[in-house]
Each structure stands twice: as structure tokens, then as C-alpha cells.
């Protein structure tokens, strides 16, 4: 066999995550954008609060991409990049990888099925929105 099967998040589940994250942010008075991608970083669903600035959407998508493709939270990736001057300089040359908090992998039955990225509030608030959405959907943020 020269291939493997990989599970991926459904559009319905991705929409559920976007809605839950936006609702959590709105309940706190935060204007955010939310992106959900598949395990390969492909965008599955997106939403942006009317009050969130347009560039925030790109940040949310890149946070989700980072978390999905590296299979770790974007903030954890950022912490690793800060350990070395050459690493922190090198990350700036890579497209789509963001070191800010708010990108969180999404697991179902210990299998990575995608990631959520939230941007527009403070970093801990972005992470809180992502985690609240994952919990509301009955999924997990870690294996």
C-alpha cells in the first residue's frame, strides 16, 4: 500500500466551530474573525464580525493554517521560534505561519481533523474563543 486515509473536518462541523467562536466573542464584546481549515491547511469555513477589520480575517486563516499543518497551537510554535535568533528570523521568510496565539488544532477521537484560528481580540481572548468553540462542538484541542 502506498497511500493512507486521513479523516478531515466536515463543513457542518467547521461551520459549528465558526458560529460558536463568534458567539463567544460577541458575548464578551470582542470583534473577531474565525477560520477553520482541514488538516492540510485548506480553508473549510470562515466568519468575521462586522466590526472586525478586514485584515483580521487573513490573520485568523493563517493561525488555523499554522495549527493544522504543524499540529500544534500557533502560540506553541511561536514560543519555539523565540528560542533562537536564527529560528525567529527564519519564520519571517515563511508564508502563512503565524506565531501569535489563537490557532488551535482540532481533534476527534485523538485524530487531527483540522484547526481553528481566531484573531481580532487580545491573544488570550483569541485562544479562549477557539477553545470555547472546540468544547461547544464536543471536540478536543489536544490528543
The model's pLDDT over 53-112, given as tens digits with 9 standing for 90+, comes to 999 999 999 999 999 999 999 887 776 667 777 666 666 656 778 778 899 999 999 999
pLDDT at residue 28 tops 80:
yes
Q: Cα Rg for the chain, rounded, in angstroms?
A: 14
Q: Comparing C-alpha atoms, which of 30, 33, 32 is closest to residue 43?
A: 33
Confirm whether 79 is domain-assigned: yes
Spatial separation of the C-alpha atoms in residues 104 and 78, rounded to whole Å: 13
> Which strand (E) or helix (H) includes residue 35?
strand 33-37
H helices then E strands: how many in the chain? Answer: 5, 4
Confirm whether 114 is domain-assigned: yes
Range of the domain at 68: 11-47+57-122
Spatial separation of the C-alpha atoms in residues 3 and 29, rounded to whole Å: 46
CATH number at residue 113: 3.30.450.150
Confirm whether 128 is domain-assigned: no
Confirm whether 135 is domain-assigned: no
The answer for 102, left when phi > 0, alpha when psi is -120 to 50, beta otherwise, is left
Q: Which residues contact 115 (CB under 8 A, 6 or more apart)?
A: 36, 37, 39, 41, 64, 65, 66, 67, 68, 103, 104, 105, 106
Q: Which residues contact 91 (CB under 8 A, 6 or more apart)?
A: 81, 97, 99
Residue 84 is predicted with a pLDDT of: 74
Residue 86 is predicted with a pLDDT of: 67
Q: Which residues contact 75 (CB under 8 A, 6 or more apart)?
A: 99, 100, 101, 102, 103, 123, 127
Residue 132 is predicted with a pLDDT of: 98
Confirm whether 52 is domain-assigned: no
Confirm whether 127 is domain-assigned: no
Confirm whether 69 is domain-assigned: yes
- Give me the percent of the chain exceeding a pLDDT of 90: 76
Q: How many domains does the chain have?
A: 1
**How confident is the model over 57-72, as pLDDT tens digits?**
999 999 999 999 999 9
Residue 77 is predicted with a pLDDT of: 74
Cell output for 40: 492540510
Confirm whether 138 is domain-assigned: no
Amino acid at each position: 500500500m502506498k497511500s493512507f486515509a486521513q479523516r478531515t473536518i466536515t463543513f457542518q462541523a467547521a461551520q459549528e466551530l465558526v458560529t460558536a467562536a463568534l458567539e463567544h466573542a460577541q458575548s464578551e464584546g470582542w470583534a473577531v474573525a474565525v477560520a477553520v481549515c482541514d488538516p492540510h491547511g485548506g480553508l473549510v469555513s470562515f466568519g468575521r464580525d462586522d466590526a472586525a477589520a478586514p485584515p483580521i480575517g487573513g490573520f485568523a486563516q493563517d493561525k488555523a493554517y499554522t495549527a493544522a499543518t504543524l499540529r500544534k497551537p500557533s502560540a506553541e510554535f511561536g514560543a519555539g521560534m523565540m528560542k533562537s535568533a536564527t529560528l525567529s528570523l527564519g519564520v519571517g521568510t515563511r508564508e502563512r505561519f503565524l506565531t501569535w496565539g489563537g490557532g488551535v488544532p482540532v481533534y476527534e477521537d485523538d485524530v487531527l481533523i483540522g484547526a481553528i484560528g481566531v484573531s481580532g481580540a487580545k491573544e488570550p481572548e483569541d485562544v479562549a474563543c477557539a477553545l470555547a468553540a472546540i468544547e461547544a462542538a464536543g471536540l478536543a484541542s489536544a490528543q
